[in-house]
Structure 1
Amino acid sequence: MVSDKLSTHVPFSSTYRGLDAIKSKMCSESCGAFVGPMDPRDFLKAFVPPPSAQEGGEQRKMPEVSFKKMSEAKNEFDMYPIYIKICERLDKDHIMRYYDTHSKTDPRTVPLGSPDRDGLSPDVMTYHKDRLPEADARTDFCLAERADEFKFKNLVDPFDDKPNKSAYPFESCTKDGKETRGQITAYAAAMLELQFRTFVFSVLIMGEFARLIRWDRSGAIVTRAFNYQEDPEPLAQFLWRYSFLSRAQRGFDESVKVIETTDDTPDQDKAKEELKEYIGSNAGRNPEIFLLRMIPLDVSPQALNKTLPHRASSPSDASSDGYAPPSDGNSSPSDRAPSPSDGPPSPSVGPSSPSIGPSSPSVRPSSPSVEPLSPSGGPSLPTDEPTVPPATSYYAHKERPDDGWDYYVLAPRMSDRSPFGRATRSLYVYDRFDGQVRHLKDTNRIISPSHTVEHEIIDDLNEKDVKHISTVHAAWDVAPRGECSDSVTPTFCDDERIDPLFAPPDVRHHRARRVYRAYRLITHELGTPLWKFKNWSQVVQAIIDILEALNGAEQAGWRHRDVSVGNIMICDGHGLLIDWDACQKSAYMNCKDRTRVPDLTGTWQFISVRRLRDVSGRHDAVDDLESAFWVLLWLALNFAVHSLTPDALRNRLKAIFDDCELEDGHYRGGDGKDLLFRSELDEQLPVTFSPPGLQKILVFLHGLFRIKPPSKPDIGRFSETRAKRVLATYEQNLLDYEEDLA
């Protein structure tokens, strides 16, 4: 179970942002994710094969077309109908449909709970003939195949075909170039977010030049800018071939299926009725439901049942997989979660309070992982290699529907996040075997020997009797046709077809190198997001339970590393700590590693002061515990009764939770939090919260976390004798700190 939140390496905000700001952030957080320039013919050869021969064996021939008329366009708008007509000429079988969508926005690209703002509106969108939008809603990112963008001049090119001298030589540093890059990145993000896709293509037209782009969760592969009017072959071949590609070749996840009239789905109406409760009151148009399967498409359900390990149904017959017995799945209506895609509501303080509330971003390490030495000083751990085999899949029962489609799943919702990274989505599924609604975490896990698969972490925690965590119903690496859905972009970072001069000079900043694999986790528990609490007793109990869970996890050898308001649920009156995918073995943390890029793991607003101020510093157990304090304070400011005016509240939230600045290519912050810890709570935050018990708990936790661990000294400039003295002093201060904590 996981909340819906922005997965990004840069801080987000406790106040909502407009569309232009979103595109600007998209540009910032995608730095280092672009690979190129690639020759367009190499691009076609790698990703867009020519169509197979016709039934009689005759080879298909591309119709002759010319893009010369594009040069006659007086403005950008004149280019659209010319382009569409050429696309239609190349698609003689009318497989696709092409629409001018520049003047109509898609409201579903605006996250629920955001203020009024325009949705996204690409210039030309392509649809398959079997998945067409409504006549009055031609801009539909839930259905579209591609979103192609046009610029009248090539001065707004987001990429440089001569390496620039910045940290990212392929990415344009001009204002117009950055705006265009943010714009096309936002389109790719929306398509990957609102559909079940592993990658998408797009076309960028800039005057007489064009680029072809392939986007996946690691990054985007971009061709060089080519003059499509003088050399029409690459663009024409792409548009012609695209229509003949299979769904998998066009980036669709084959383990998710559009429901057709020919499908055997007599339980569909019941599933819709059961899922309706979880859609949420602000859903707008009813979301579509799809069929979802766990097994590879080329393996029969019967054959797979013989090989998959099955989870025991009771403690008495528990097998070696170590899973705790599944819950009965019965939860009271009050504890059932509305769709997490609703996001945190806009909290208000008093009747005239402004809308305030975060989208709970998740800050993830986005650099290639080069592992530290083991704490014992032994051999180093394995470095990242995209050779990790699929994780063992677990399933809750031994029988499945005859057709192998195990679940109905609700369509995903929009959030303001980059297309790159884990991109975790919180969805609901209807289990066709036992007729129950369950929670699905749809994500992309990092492929690295140093990262443990989340269901294995939860398995270990349950085996060691850690309280207040989920139990797993099913978990698997997405592997249609038996092959895992790994991101492809990293394999081209060192490809001979890409000039290495365009790669970031510091390889650690080349975000496109990190391999991601599609992964799904279904849990038994259905909780309520913490911010939907009934009373403050419920909140305090949840915080106590989360502190107990953190302590238990630490004793079990694991550190969560992402305690946030979005990762705490209320289930059966108790707190439930979710989202363990950032968790690491405590023993392997804080080992010195000079090659790893400084970066943060966690949710910006709730990261500890020390971690915000030193991104390359330690991450101890106390940092996770401190995050629980910031969660409680955030809830108190947003939901409790107090005397702050709306403007004062907004300023406090920004100063304490959103403080950040960019230094040496990385964000740091924490000044507001540090100031709050320099004196008593009521001195820096002269507010009395109601109920009184909440105030007492905040004061107590504030006093506890004011005790700061000593900073590790830099002894490189000292003599050997003095270095020993400095280290001895540090070690004594560390002992005093641990004694104070105890």
Structure 2
Amino acid sequence: MDGRWLGAMPVDTFLNKYFPATEEPLPDLPDNPFENVPSKGSESGRYDPFITAIQEWMPHLQAVNTSTKGDKVNKVNLKTDISIYNRVGGVPPPDRTDFSRMELWMEFKATKDGAAFRDPRIDTEEERLLAIETGSFTPDTDEGKKARGQLAHYAGAQHSQQFRHFSFSVVIQEDHARFLRWDPSATVVTAEFNYRTNPRLMVEFLWRFDHLSPKQRGHDVSIQLANLAPEVDARVREKLGIKNSDIALYQYEVPGMIGMGYAYGPRFPTENRSLVSRCTRSSPVVWIPNEDVLGGTKSCGEPGSHSERNVDEHVGEDEVKKGPWSKERVIYMKDTWRFLSDLADVEVMPEHEIYEILHQHRTPHIPELVIGGDVDGGRTQTQELVDAPWLCVQPRISPYQHYRLVHGIVGRPLFQFDSTKQLVTAVFDALQAHSHAVNYAKLLHRDISVGNIILTDEGKGLLIDWEMAKKMDEHGSRRPDRTGTWQFMSANLLQQPGKFHTVTDDLESFLHVLAWTTIRYVPAIDSYSAGRRGKDLASFDEHDEMEGHCHEGGHLKGLLLAAGKYPSSSFQPRCKTPLFELLQELRKPFKSLYGDPPTDTDRKKVEFPFDQSDWELVVMRAAIDRYEKDMACLQSSTWFVDTIKMALDKQEWPTDDKADRNIRITFPRETPRQEQIRTSHRQRSQAMWRSSKALPSSSKRAASPTPGPSSKRPRGTPAACGTRC
């Protein structure tokens, strides 16, 4: 969240921008509506009196003291001090924190010690620039970071449990309050105000919020609770394997298919812990076409309220009547926030357009049926504030657009392979898709990961998730962050956050996908302990935070590859398989990439014919030839495709060495000595980074990065150093 707290916005400016005036006038305001709220004493003693004071200004909402009853989200129990819920049909609101239902939450702090925000004095432009330079608005104290982290955790939980484009919340410290607005780009924070001496601002906020429509409160209205006929509801649940009748089904609009039908399924599963990200969620759903397309009886019990909306240009009505969308079918839906460039000369294609290019060039091993588009009302707004005169932070914002995409095929994760040969086959298929895209469609994927290779029912591999793909001839930067799947990014990208993403980086990612999946899921001999397995996996997670929001890592990856010890030779599969020998073969070119290259002096020594009895020169010539051959292998996928194909042609592949998802793993704890080494490395890295800031801008631009969640380290581990990608 560093660089993504935009403040301090004047409160009246905030209200006028995000809260339209209500037709129903605000009732007369008492002289001191908060006189019964204690100004001293315990924090918990303020909740109920505050609820009593504000309830008058929320005729459609109900405030509840939820400070003692939490909601478990992503295995963490979270308790907001006050939760505000809708009053629905006389049904009482929950008496506990329920992030799936709350409209607004409030967090109290009894004192200003450890404040999350501090408004600097900015009477002049010079004072504002000084506040930006010192970061005084977001105090760099442990207490301040913890407080901001708590707020971000609550907002992330609310967005993960609801269908939202944005949300609002209130933070109160002593007698002062702030309003916040959250979306996947950043968080807008108002200046603080004293709600006792200036109660109008608090009352105006609550009154206007109470009168907002669901869309104005941030809800994604393209998703509604399903209203299916009982027999259709049962059929959907059967197709999706939903045995629990208490699990609600939702109706999803499919961009590109508006008016043609809807997709039905449960709430998207999510493990997103960060609100500021692409927030990708995906799940199988059931597509059901509408009667006005098929000319028959409605296949569902909903009223078809969107049937008059225009059909998207991507799919014509005749195509729907005759094609694959004319029948009820299970599809795979991806819901995400796609990145938008804020640069006028940079265009970021939505993923379905990338698929169109891939299909035009007959790219194999990708989903055949793909429909996608932007969700109405789902564009972030915080990026519009980066030049606001009140802004006293250095913003680090990426604009996003809510986006939905569906595949006509529902695969299974790569880590559910039935045999190691099937695992290698799937990676081989994905590599062929990648090679074809580079050579013919001129597109580079740039996010090769375990999650982006799926298995079909026939055991083949498909390369999916092309939203980060970039044209091969596009060298301009796009964004201030790199987001990708940390464990599978190349060591060079992790070590050099300003490096431009190349084919070589993607090829290395394929190696990491195969190695990580092997170590994580392939049964090994008994001597390969849970601790050893955890230590080997930890090398993929290695990272070190640097100054300036920058993450760096991959040093151990690079060292192991340079030494020819990747992956660890201590891993021995329980069933004899050519898999490990294949990994050892695939790593060979990277030994030259991460090792010491031949020196100019050595090259000159063997530049001309020499006596073959001079053993030193013979070895030197062989090493140079090996290096040049390896580097040539890394320029395209040809060698990798041939190498894997030769391995798959072998006869000794077992058929019963399937993935084991219950393998016990123990991750190592950092020893004091390791912490000392890591801290020393970080200090050196920070010094190098500070030195690089003094370089001319043209020098830094020569190595502009590209994004690789994002967070599934979750995908989304940032690696930005002020450059743009």
SS at match of 2:337: strand
SS at match of 1:695: helix
Q: Given that residues 334 and 404 in structure 2 are in contact (C-alpha distance below 8 angstroms), is that contact kept between their aligned partners in structure 1?
A: yes
Q: Given that residues 2 and 549 in structure 2 are in contact (C-alpha distance below 8 angstroms), is that contact kept between their aligned partners in structure 1?
A: no
Match of 1:179? 146
Match of 2:193? 226
User: Separation in 1 of the partners of 2:276 and 2:89?
Assistant: 26
The 5 Å alignment of 1:158-237 reads 158-162=116-120, 164=131, 168-237=135-204
Distance 1:399-1:38 versus aligned 2 partners, 3 A rule: closer
Instruction: Give the CA deviation at 1:656.
Output: 3.7
2:543 matches 1:576: no
The 5 Å alignment of 1:711-726 reads none
Pick from 113, 131, 139 the counterpart of residue 155 of structure 1. 113
Pick from 472, 482, 485 the counterpart of residue 603 of structure 1. 485
User: Separation in 2 of the partners of 1:574 and 1:38?
Assistant: 53
What is the identity, as a one-letter code, of the residue corresponding to 2:5?
A: F
The 5 Å alignment of 1:27-426 reads 30-53=1-24, 59-61=25-27, 63-64=29-30, 66-91=33-58, 93=59, 95-107=60-72, 109-110=73-74, 117-130=75-88, 138-162=96-120, 164=131, 168-259=135-226, 265=229, 268-274=232-238, 276-277=240-241, 286-294=246-254, 394-395=256-257, 400-401=260-261, 406-426=262-282
2:519 matches 1:637: yes
Q: Given that residues 284 and 332 in structure 2 are in contact (C-alpha distance below 8 angstroms), is that contact kept between their aligned partners in structure 1?
A: yes
Q: For 1:427-449, what per-residue CA distance to the aligned partner results, in whole angstroms no more than 9, with x for missing partners?
A: 33221113222111111112234
- When normalised by structure 2's length, the TM-score is 0.71
What is the identity, as a one-letter code, of the residue corresponding to 1:605?
A: Q
Q: Given that residues 608 and 623 in structure 1 are in contact (C-alpha distance below 8 angstroms), is that contact kept between their aligned partners in structure 2?
A: yes
Instruction: Give the CA deviation at 1:640.
Output: 1.8
Instruction: Give the CA deviation at 1:487.
Output: 0.8
Instruction: Give the CA deviation at 1:632.
Output: 1.4
User: Separation in 1 of the partners of 2:448 and 2:181?
Assistant: 34
| Residues 616-625 or 554-563, more deviating | 616-625
Pick from 374, 382, 388 the counterpart of residue 495 of structure 1. 388
SS at match of 2:500: coil
Instruction: Give the CA deviation at 1:175.
Output: 1.2
Distance 1:164-1:459 versus aligned 2 partners, 3 A rule: same
SS at match of 2:578: helix
Q: Given that residues 271 and 408 in structure 1 are in contact (C-alpha distance below 8 angstroms), is that contact kept between their aligned partners in structure 2?
A: no
How many residues matched? 554
User: Separation in 2 of the partners of 1:568 and 1:208?
Assistant: 53
What is the identity, as a one-letter code, of the residue corresponding to 1:493?
A: V
| Residues 121-130 or 69-78, more deviating | 69-78
Q: For 1:619-642, what per-residue CA distance to the aligned partner results, in whole angstroms no more than 9, with x for missing partners?
A: 211211111111111112112233
What is the identity, as a one-letter code, of the residue corresponding to 1:61?
A: P
Q: Given that residues 185 and 276 in structure 2 are in contact (C-alpha distance below 8 angstroms), is that contact kept between their aligned partners in structure 1?
A: yes
Q: For 1:400-422, what per-residue CA distance to the aligned partner results, in whole angstroms no more than 9, with x for missing partners?
A: 35xxxx22242123314311132
User: Separation in 2 of the partners of 1:74 and 1:636?
Assistant: 57
Instruction: Give the CA deviation at 1:586.
Output: 1.3
User: Separation in 2 of the partners of 1:42 and 1:523?
Assistant: 43
Distance 1:456-1:241 versus aligned 2 partners, 3 A rule: same
What is the identity, as a one-letter code, of the residue corresponding to 1:38?
A: M
SS at match of 1:269: helix
Higher relative contact order (CA 8 A, sep 6+): 1
What is the identity, as a one-letter code, of the residue corresponding to 1:662?
A: M
Instruction: Give the CA deviation at 1:649.
Output: 2.0
| Residues 267-276 or 411-420, more deviating | 267-276
Q: Given that residues 278 and 336 in structure 2 are in contact (C-alpha distance below 8 angstroms), is that contact kept between their aligned partners in structure 1?
A: yes
Q: For 1:589-634, what per-residue CA distance to the aligned partner results, in whole angstroms no more than 9, with x for missing partners?
A: 4x6x6x975x534211110111111111132112111111111111
Q: Given that residues 33 and 511 in structure 1 are in contact (C-alpha distance below 8 angstroms), is that contact kept between their aligned partners in structure 2?
A: yes
Q: For 1:22-53, what per-residue CA distance to the aligned partner results, in whole angstroms no more than 9, with x for missing partners?
A: xxxxxxxx111121101112111111223213
SS at match of 2:334: strand
User: Separation in 2 of the partners of 1:452 and 1:274?
Assistant: 36
User: Separation in 2 of the partners of 1:394 and 1:41?
Assistant: 39
User: Separation in 1 of the partners of 2:445 and 2:407?
Assistant: 18
What is the identity, as a one-letter code, of the residue corresponding to 2:263?
A: Y
SS at match of 1:668: strand
In the alignment, structure 1 segments of 5+ residues that lack a partner are 1-29, 54-58, 111-116, 295-392, 505-509, 714-731
2:536 matches 1:652: yes
In the alignment, structure 2 segments of 5+ residues that lack a partner are 121-129, 290-326, 599-624, 640-725
Instruction: Give the CA deviation at 1:71.
Output: 3.1
Match of 1:557? 442
- When normalised by structure 1's length, the TM-score is 0.70
Q: For 1:653-689, what per-residue CA distance to the aligned partner results, in whole angstroms no more than 9, with x for missing partners?
A: 2234334342543111111111211223379543323
Instruction: Give the CA deviation at 1:494.
Output: 1.5
Q: Given that residues 81 and 108 in structure 2 are in contact (C-alpha distance below 8 angstroms), is that contact kept between their aligned partners in structure 1?
A: yes
What is the identity, as a one-letter code, of the residue corresponding to 2:461?
A: G
Match of 1:16? none
Instruction: Give the CA deviation at 1:290.
Output: 1.8
Q: Given that residues 562 and 595 in structure 2 are in contact (C-alpha distance below 8 angstroms), is that contact kept between their aligned partners in structure 1?
A: no
2:500 matches 1:618: yes
What is the identity, as a one-letter code, of the residue corresponding to 2:67?
A: H
What is the identity, as a one-letter code, of the residue corresponding to 2:532?
A: A
Match of 1:436? 329
SS at match of 2:38: helix
| Residues 167-176 or 563-572, more deviating | 167-176
SS at match of 1:485: strand
Instruction: Give the CA deviation at 1:705.
Output: 3.1
Q: For 1:143-185, what per-residue CA distance to the aligned partner results, in whole angstroms no more than 9, with x for missing partners?
A: 1111211111122321221164656443221211111101111
Q: Given that residues 582 and 601 in structure 1 are in contact (C-alpha distance below 8 angstroms), is that contact kept between their aligned partners in structure 2?
A: no
Q: Given that residues 528 and 569 in structure 1 are in contact (C-alpha distance below 8 angstroms), is that contact kept between their aligned partners in structure 2?
A: yes
2:466 matches 1:466: no
Q: For 1:511-547, what per-residue CA distance to the aligned partner results, in whole angstroms no more than 9, with x for missing partners?
A: 23x3211111111010001112222121111111111
Distance 1:165-1:33 versus aligned 2 partners, 3 A rule: closer
User: Separation in 2 of the partners of 1:218 and 1:159?
Assistant: 19
Instruction: Give the CA deviation at 1:737.
Output: 5.2
User: Separation in 2 of the partners of 1:131 and 1:625?
Assistant: 57
The 5 Å alignment of 1:724-735 reads none
Aligned CA RMSD, in angstroms, stands at 2.9
User: Separation in 1 of the partners of 2:91 and 2:579?
Assistant: 50
User: Separation in 2 of the partners of 1:575 and 1:565?
Assistant: 11
User: Separation in 2 of the partners of 1:285 and 1:85?
Assistant: 38
Pick from 471, 477, 486 the counterpart of residue 379 of structure 2. 486
SS at match of 1:103: coil
Determine which structure has more spread, i.e. the larger CA radius of gyration. Answer: 2
Instruction: Give the CA deviation at 1:503.
Output: 2.7
What is the identity, as a one-letter code, of the residue corresponding to 1:667?
A: H
Instruction: Give the CA deviation at 1:270.
Output: 3.4
Distance 1:600-1:46 versus aligned 2 partners, 3 A rule: closer
| Residues 210-219 or 446-455, more deviating | 446-455
SS at match of 2:466: coil
User: Separation in 2 of the partners of 1:636 and 1:175?
Assistant: 39
Pick from 347, 350, 364 the counterpart of residue 450 of structure 1. 347
